[in-house]
Amino acid sequence: MDDPRYVGNIALISGNVLIRDCLNSILSLNFPDYRIQLFSAADEWGLSSQPVRVRLVILHDRGYIDATKTLATARAHKPRVPVLILANASDAASIVQAIDLGARGYVPSTLPVGDLILAVHRVMAGGTFVPPETVFGTQAWKPLTQRQLSVVTGIRQGKTNAQIGKELGISESTVKVHVRRIMKQMQVINRTAIAHRSKDILSTDED
């Protein structure tokens, strides 16, 4: 049963006892109205008797592969509960894949505690959190092919994958493949970020 002293519950899953205890202290201090539930594995959480007001699941794992496996397990048990991942990997490709797999937020270990608190607030409010540098990109990215440039132009013009595919004479699924490769090369996680990063190398009729 839910404890009336709390407005909700946050499930914290980590196989590392020390890190789990440290995270518990941080969360308890910054979210006093929430009960922090501690688990060593996603299966332990998923198979336990859960209160109805679980607002967030925080997954911590030492490696990205472990984190994504744990994410899949957690979502299999409770697909509607938002999941925030804490992991060592900080590259854009890892973050993109985690979001694609259903995570609502991703906090690499390179970020300070303040960003973790922000991420928890944002995800519990229904939003998504990823590192700012992942959205806008700060590192140089590989040159795009002519076909990829055409896809980027369509994205900047606000066209859908289907519209871009029709103009280029390729299938919508092929456009999706191009978009994913472009995101990986640009080190960004969404179409808006593609448009933002490409503004210095492309021009549209509106520019």
DSSP strand E in the chain: where?
Answer: 8-14, 34-39, 54-61, 83-87, 105-108
pLDDT recorded at residue 117: 94
Give the span between the Cα atoms of 102 and 104, in whole angstroms.
Answer: 6
| Contact assessment for residue 172 and residue 161, using Cβ atoms and an 8 Å cutoff | yes
Q: Which letter does DSSP use for residue 117 in this model? A: H
Name the helix (H) or strand (E) containing 30: helix 17-30
Query: What confidence tier does 3 reach under pLDDT thresholds 50, 70, 90?
Result: low
Q: Quick check: 99 pLDDT over 60?
A: yes
Is the domain 146-198 a CATH 3.40.50.10490 member? no
* pLDDT reported for residue 138: 45
What is the CATH architecture of 8-134? 3-Layer(aba) Sandwich (3.40)
Give span(s): CATH 1.10.10.10, the chain. 146-198
The tokens describing 171, both together, are 């299938």
Q: Alpha-carbon distance 157 to 1, whole Å? A: 51
Q: What is the pLDDT of residue 191?
A: 86
Residue ranges of the chain assigned to CATH 3.40.50.2300:
8-134
84, 104 Cβ separation under 8 angstroms: yes
**Cα 120 to Cα 135: distance, rounded to the nearest angstrom:** 18
Strand pairing report for 83-87 and 34-39:
unpaired
Quick check: 52 pLDDT over 80?
no
pLDDT in tens, 157-202: 888 999 999 989 999 999 999 999 998 888 788 888 888 777 655 5
Q: What pLDDT is stored for residue 199 in this prediction?
A: 66
